[in-house]
Amino acid sequence: MISLRNISVKFGETFAVQDVSVAAEPGEFIALVGPNGSGKSSFLKSAAGLIPHEGSSNLASNRRIRAKQLAYLAQNATASGEHKIQNIVALGRTPHIGSLSRLTDVDSQIVKAAMEKCGVTKFKDRVFKTLSGGEQTRVHLARTLATDTALLLADEPVTALDPYYQLSVMEVLREASNEGTTVIAALHDLSLARKFCDRVWVMNSGRLVADGPPDETLTPKVLREVFRITPEGEIAR
Amino acid sequence: MNARLWNPRNWTLGLCGLCGFTIIASLFFGSTQIELRESLAGLLGQSTSDINTIIQTIRLPRALLAACVGAGLGASGAALQGFTRNPLAAPGLLGFSACAALGAVLALYFGVSKLVTPAAIIFAFAGAVAMTVFSRRKPGASGLVLVGIGIGALATAVTGLMMNLAPNPWALSELVYWLMGSLKNADLPDVMFAAPLTLLGLGLLLLSGPALRVLGMGEDTAQSLGISVSRTQLLVVTGCALCIGSGVAVAGAIGFVGLFIPHILRFVVGPDEAWLIPLSALGGASFLVLVDMGIRITAGPGTPLYLGIVTSLIGVPFFLWLAWRQS
């Protein structure tokens, strides 16, 4: 499980994230939603320990230990274009093997299973730059699964993808949570959050403004006040 | 090409062989014709005293020094390109060479040619420290490129000022020739000085290799996998300062090797940063030994060709061809 208390992230004088406290259980799939600039990315990065922040976390502060506790899928994650897919997915094992040793058979099995789950096995010998955006996202998803952590943080994993890849990526994340991983994914598509997630965290202006099951959090009031839209999908005036 | 045969390990073995071969070849090619058997005997001090002298005090130090300098340049270029994920990054662009050259030029300007070597090393390190300090707020590719180019430009400007202030044409020509890069004064003490520093630098760069492989996915992703960007940057910058500082100290500024050797090897061997560093070291060493051998063979009565000029003349067209092919 993950427990974060009073997390704040400051850029200069402004708060990107202000005093957010959350906790999640194993196997929960949580959608982190909020308008652009509400602090979702900064919150995920602070949870992953990538940016300076205030507050406390039950995750290790040591970089190498933390890397075994959580996997992080960056927004628009990239890779050296000439690298083969199987090598990129194998880099997910980095926290477990130390930088100078090689993959063991167990590592290779985990990498293989992760590629299988994300449907990228058929690309394993192709190089990264020849894949489409949706395929590249699934490669990175496979890379995060290969790290085999109890917590997976994904920053807008489906934002740039077509409907098919949106659903397929969400399904992989759902399956990971069914197997016991805590998944926290920043999303813009509220219908995907409703369809796949157990819980929704709504952020607005750096604060957590709602926390609960989709039906209780994505209410008409929240839609109007936070997202400035109506339940029918019109602009709220 | 058979992919199984041409894996990085076999490339490494092959380039080791090439490097050793060029060093041995450079012992018996030169402006004086010496038979292979005689040169090997000269190496062991078993030939006539003339030949012993030529082999032991001229050809061997030059070849070894060329290998050291070339290895340092190649590995530094590969590590910098890997760390910045920028194909243009090279020790020449990021100010390492310029800082070391400034140190040497200052020593020459003030007439203490004994201090050229230590000054080059000290200034290369001062440049590395400045890069680390100025990019400490945000260590990583973009910070290092900006700060490195800035520091390099400053060092080049001050070098220009020294040339501007040169008291007479002879002093100026000494500076200019030195900046062209040459191994013509190479001797065994130079090798004893440059080789350990280069090896130490190569060791640091090799250590950074696996982290560079992960950094190819971007700094956030690499950090989430437990890689420290600042620690990797420190390894790369210190390794480059050792390699480039010692190289410039003994041979002057030698251009383009650090830029195009890693490119060629990436093109033929593949993109793995951890392998590219040792491969570029071997490739750079072989290349520089070959070029210097060519210079010695063609040396006539006039001013000999300068190594740095020749490497640039070879490197630039090749680089343009590569850029043209890729676009």
**Subunit contact B221:A82, Cβ cutoff 8 A:** no
Q: DSSP string covering B252-267, please?
A: ----SHHHHHHHHHHH
Q: Please name the residues between 114 and 143 in chain A that touch chain B, using a CB distance below 8 Å.
A: 140, 143
List the one residue out of A191, A236, A229, A193 whose CA is nearest residue A212: A193
* Sheet containing A54-57, strands listed edge to edge, beginning at the edge strand earlier in sequence: A14-24, A2-11, A54-57
What CA–CA distance (Å, rounded) separates A175 from A227?
A: 29
Residue type for B61, please? P
- B212 contact residues in A (CB cutoff 8 A): none
Beta carbons of B239 and B201 less than 8 angstroms apart: yes
Continuous segment of H or E residues that includes residue A57: strand A54-57
Q: DSSP secondary structure string, B34-95? A: --HHHHHHHHTT-S-HHHHHIIIIIIHHHHHHHHHHHHHHHHHHHHHHHHHT-TT--TTTTT
How far B281 CA sits from the closest chain A CA (Å)? 19
> In residues, how long is chain B?
327
Sign of CA dihedral A67, A69, A75, A78: positive
Task: Tell if the CB–CB gap between A48 and B224 is shorter than 8 Å.
Answer: yes
pLDDT (tens digit per residue) in A40-50 = 999 999 999 99
How many angstroms separate the CA atoms of B248 and B7, rounded? 33
- What's the residue count for chain A? 237
The amino acid sitting at B186 is: A
Cβ contact B220–A70 (<8 Å):
no
Looking from the CA of A184 toward its CB, the CA atoms found within 13 Å total: 28
Q: pTM of the prediction? A: 0.91
Q: Is A35 strand, coil or helix?
A: coil
- Rounded to a whole number of angstroms, the distance from the CA of A82 to the nearest CA of chain B is 6
Smallest CA–CA separation between B270 and chain A, in Å?
Answer: 7
Phi-psi region of B228 (alpha: psi -120 to 50; beta: other; left: phi over 0): beta
Torsion of CA B160, B165, B169, B170, to 10 degrees: -90
DSSP secondary structure letter of residue A45: H
Contact residues, chain A, for B83 at CB < 8 Å: none
Q: Report angle CA B275, B194, B229 to the nearest 5 degrees.
A: 45
Which of A69, A80, A139 to probe by mutation at the B interface, max B CB count within 10 Å? A80
CB contact under 8 A, A78 and B225: no
∠ at Cα B300 (B298, B304), nearest 5°?
Answer: 80
- pLDDT class for A99, splitting at 50, 70, 90? low
Nearest CA of chain B to the CA of A192: how many Å?
A: 25
Cα separation, A211 vs A32, in Å, equals 9
Give the tens place of pLDDT for each residue, A104-143.
Answer: 899 999 999 999 999 999 999 999 999 998 899 999 999 9
Backbone angles phi, psi at B33, to 5 degrees: -75, 125
Contact across the interface for A87 and B272, Cβ inside 8 Å: yes
Is there a contact between A79 and B217 if contact means CB atoms under 8 Å apart?
yes
Contact between chains at A91 and B226 (C-beta distance less than 8 A)? no
Taking 90 as the threshold, does the pLDDT of residue A208 lie above it? yes
State whether residue B122 is helix, strand or coil: helix
Q: Which of B249, B327, B257 is nearest to B289 (CA)?
A: B257
Residues of B in contact with A80 (CB under 8 A): 85, 216-217, 271, 273
Q: Give the dihedral of Cα atoms B22, B24, B29, B34; nearest 10 deg.
A: -170
Q: Tell me whether residues A67 and B266 touch, CB distance under 8 A.
A: no
In this prediction, residue B277 carries a pLDDT of: 96
How far B298 CA lies from chain A's nearest CA (Å)?
40
Number of structural domains found in chain B: 1
**A64, A77, A88 ranked by CB distance to B226: nearest:** A64
Find the closest chain B residue to A73 by CA distance.
B221
- Specify the pLDDT at position B3: 53
> Among B9, B86, B221, which would you mutate to test the A interface (most chain A Cβ atoms within 10 Å of its Cβ)?
B221
CA distance B63 to B288: 9
The owner of tokens 């994993």 is: A157
Residue pairs between chains A and B whose CB atoms are closer than 8 Å: 67
In a structure prediction context, what are the per-residue pLDDT tens digits for chain B, which is 327 residues long?
445 567 888 888 999 999 999 998 888 787 777 777 787 888 888 878 888 888 888 889 999 999 999 999 999 999 999 999 888 888 988 999 999 999 999 998 888 888 888 999 999 999 999 999 998 877 788 889 999 999 999 999 999 999 999 888 888 888 888 888 888 888 888 899 999 999 999 999 999 999 999 999 999 999 999 999 999 999 999 999 999 999 999 998 887 899 989 988 988 888 888 899 999 999 999 999 999 999 988 887 777 888 989 998 988 887 788 778 766
Are the Cβ atoms of A147 and B225 closer than 8 angstroms?
Answer: yes
B217 contacts in chain A (CB < 8 Å): 77-80, 88, 91, 140, 143
* Residue B202 belongs to domain with CATH number: 1.10.3470.10
Dihedral of alpha carbons A110, A87, B90, B206, sign: positive
Separation between Cα atoms, residue A180 and residue B122, nearest integer Å: 55
Name residue B185's beta-bridge partners: none
Q: Given this model, what pLDDT does residue B33 score? A: 75
Question: What distance in Å separates the CA atoms of residue B11 and residue A237, rounded to the nearest whole number?
Answer: 67
Distance CA B105, CA A68 (A): 50
Cα–Cα distance, B198 to B204 (Å, whole number):
10
Considering only A25-29, A178-182, B183-187, which range has the smallest mean pLDDT? B183-187
Amino acid identity for residue B101 in this structure:
A
CA-angle at B39, arms to B36 and B42, nearest 5°: 155
A138-148 burial code (b ≥16 CB/10 A, e <16): bbbbbbbbbbb
* Chain A nearest C-alpha distance from B207 (Å): 8
Instruction: Note the ipTM here.
Output: 0.91
Token pair of A105 as six digits: 């058979």
Structure confidence at residue B1 (pLDDT): 42
Range of the domain at B166: 2-326
Residue A100 banded pLDDT, cuts 50, 70, 90: low
- Give the per-residue pLDDT at B30: 77
